[in-house]
Amino acid sequence: MAEKNNKKYFVEYGEPVGIIAAQSVGEPGTQMILRSFHLAGIESTVATSGLPRIIELVDAKKKPSTPVTYIYLDQKISKNFDRASEMLKKINEVRMSNLARRALENFSKGKIKIVLDKQELESEGLTIRQVAARIEKDMGLDAQPVENGVIVNMHTRNLKEIRNTKIAIMKMLVSGVDGAGKATVRRDDDTGEFYLVSAGSNIEGIMQIDGIDKSKTTTNDVFAVYRLFGIEAARNSLAVELKKTLKEQKISVDERHLNLIADAMTASGSVKGVGRHGLSGEKRSVFARAAYEETLKHLVHAAAFGETDKMRGVTENILVGKQIPIGTGSVKLAIKKEDMSKVMPKK
Amino acid sequence: MPSKSDHELVPVHELMSDKEAKEVLESLKVSIENLPKILESDPQAKKLEAKPGQIIRIHRREGKHDMFYYRVVIGE
């Protein structure tokens, strides 16, 4: 009984699932906002939404225009707001230029003085002594903490060297994770647990920190997921992101269509876009490629290299006016090679 | 069945023996080059120490249904 019911939901043989998926996503897509806009407010991390986001996903862009990482915390920490906020300090990317009010170079004495902003220091939970120690450790320089900042003694009067060192110090990472961006604490209204949202996608770096739930932390950067977890995770990430984007716009598309798109994009073992340089550009049929984009390029290439077209797809058969291999059209009469000899008398 | 994976996004991957692989290909009526692919350098394939030509069974969960997905390991 269960099996009989189950069969009802199977796709019939010859059903053009790809075309149906494309139409099912395409039609509601016309109702989406065409341009992502930003709302004024306290939310610091606004992910791209609507059509621009869908295009980004489907074209398999290497970097999302607004990377976001959702950092989930260990159970002990996630219940407590104060402890969750403490985690921020470990993650928030703080560079010297965020802390320094100004940097003064003394070329005649060969010294650089960095005046630090007390308020900024306090909010990041850092002390001048710590900053000086960090410069000594990371840059291998002679740094002395003073009342309102740090003095770096260069022991040289080479102008170029002093200027380059100053620039390097200002770019230096003082605390947090490289490429993690600025994080904020959020509360899940259903479970009451706190989690962090950061405007970066260095998920590899974030995973190194203690106190993070490594099995849940994710990012909207599909390629970051691909590098860290592999192709299957990238496929799931793609499907999840597509579903999330459509849901935000209150558009309901059956998730199997979106799963199919994600499957097709990851079938080659790496994440490929659907456009000219991806799925459409790699079709086997010459005519199908020529009918899509860059007609001459494909025809000339095919002529020069003697490509064959087996006329098995939809596009090329429409092109020549033949029945398309879909549904009942996909049935063909065939005979096995071994059986051929039985029918045809040998000469 | 192999143990749980270490991340929500990663389904369980299982390396199949050559005998099992042959049976699956026959029951699905596909040739090995028509299967979806997974790179040898893929983090999950590396974990299983899979070699090109082998098939990895993936325990997927789609909605309420458990299902299998197959990927053939390929070199770079």
pLDDT in tens, B12-61: 999 999 999 999 999 988 889 889 999 999 989 988 888 999 999 999 88
Most B-contacting residue of A72, A221, A232 (CB-CB within 10 A), to test interface: A232
Whether A220 and chain B come into contact, CB under 8 Å, resolves to: no
Report how far residue A324's alpha carbon sits from residue A11's, in angstroms, rounded to the nearest whole number: 19
A131 in Cβ contact with A174 (< 8 Å): yes
B59 in Cβ contact with B12 (< 8 Å): yes
Report how far residue A230's alpha carbon sits from residue A236's, in angstroms, rounded to the nearest whole number: 10
pLDDT at res. A4: 67
Contact call for A231 and B62, based on CB within 8 A:
no
| Torsion angle (degrees, nearest 10) of CA A207, A239, A325, A28 | -150
Whether A315 and chain B come into contact, CB under 8 Å, resolves to: no
Whether A259 and chain B come into contact, CB under 8 Å, resolves to: yes
Which residues lie below 8 Å from residue A224, measured CB to CB, with a gap of 6+? Answer: A67, A201, A202, A203, A204
Where do the H-state alpha helices sit in chain A?
2-8, 17-29, 50-58, 75-78, 81-91, 96-99, 118-124, 128-139, 159-171, 203-206, 222-229, 231-248, 255-266, 286-292, 295-305, 314-320, 337-343
Q: What is the mean pLDDT of residues A185-194?
A: 83
Taking contacts as CB-CB distances below 8 angstroms, the residues of chain B near A233 are 7, 9-10, 44
Q: Which residues of A109-144 are buried (b: 16+ CB within 10 A; e: fewer)?
A: ebbbbbebeeeebeebebebeebbebbeeeeebebe
For A94-136, the pLDDT digits (tens) are 888 888 888 888 888 888 888 888 888 887 778 888 888 888 8
- Locate tokens 């550009």: which residue? A281
Inter-chain Cβ pairs, chain A and chain B, closer than 8 A: 63
Whether A214 and chain B come into contact, CB under 8 Å, resolves to: yes
Contact call for A268 and B37, based on CB within 8 A:
yes
Taking contacts as CB-CB distances below 8 angstroms, the residues of chain A near B42 are 230-231, 269
Nearest CA distance, B19 vs chain A (angstrom): 23
Q: What is the mean pLDDT of residues A66-76?
A: 85
- Locate tokens 């699905």: which residue? B28
Contact call for B63 and A255, based on CB within 8 A:
yes
Radius of gyration, alpha carbons of chain B:
12
Q: What is the mean pLDDT of residues A273-283?
A: 82
Q: Is the pLDDT of residue A344 over 80?
A: no
Whether A102 and chain B come into contact, CB under 8 Å, resolves to: no
Nearest CA distance, A340 vs chain B (angstrom): 22
CA distances from A261 to A57, A58, A244, A273 (A): 11, 8, 15, 10
Q: Which residues pair with B39 in a beta bridge?
A: B74
Q: Is B38 a domain residue?
A: yes
ipTM over 0.85: yes
A60 in Cβ contact with A272 (< 8 Å): yes
User: What SS3 class is residue B70?
Assistant: strand
Other C-beta atoms lying within 10 Å of the C-beta of residue B21: 20
Out of A28-32, A131-135, A215-219, B61-65, which region has the weakest mean confidence (pLDDT)? B61-65
Question: Closest residue of B to A239, CA-based?
Answer: B9
Report how far residue A246's alpha carbon sits from residue A265's, in angstroms, rounded to the nearest whole number: 18
Whether A187 and chain B come into contact, CB under 8 Å, resolves to: no
Taking contacts as CB-CB distances below 8 angstroms, the residues of chain B near A266 are 36
Of A41-50, A219-228, A269-278, which has the strongest mean pLDDT?
Answer: A219-228
Question: Closest residue of B to A234, CA-based?
Answer: B9
Contact call for B10 and A237, based on CB within 8 A:
no
Question: Closest residue of B to A218, CA-based?
Answer: B9
Nearest CA distance, A155 vs chain B (angstrom): 48
Ordered by start, the domain boundaries in chain A are 12-64+221-266, 69-91+180-219, 94-175, 283-330
The CATH label, of 3.40.50.620, 1.10.150.390, 3.40.50.300, 3.40.190.290, for the domain at A283-330 is 1.10.150.390
The CATH class that applies to domain A94-175 reads alpha beta
A194 in Cβ contact with A185 (< 8 Å): yes
| Torsion angle (degrees, nearest 10) of CA A281, A284, A285, A291 | -10
Q: Is the pLDDT of residue A328 over 60?
A: yes
List the CATH number of the domain containing B28.
Answer: 3.90.940.20
Q: Is the pLDDT of residue A300 over 90?
A: yes
Sorting pLDDT into bands at 50, 70 and 90, what band is A284? Answer: confident
Contact call for B71 and A231, based on CB within 8 A:
yes
CA distances from A151 to A138, A143, A310 (A): 15, 6, 74
Nearest CA distance, A165 vs chain B (angstrom): 39
Report how far residue A135's alpha carbon sits from residue A141's, in angstroms, rounded to the nearest whole number: 7
Whether A212 and chain B come into contact, CB under 8 Å, resolves to: no
Question: Can you name the CATH fold of A12-64+221-266?
Answer: PTS-regulatory domain, PRD (1.10.1790)
Whole domain around residue B38: which residue ranges?
12-74
Taking contacts as CB-CB distances below 8 angstroms, the residues of chain B near A263 are 36
Candidates A227, A233, A268; nearest CB to B9: A233
Looking at the 3D structure of chain B, how many domains does it have? 1
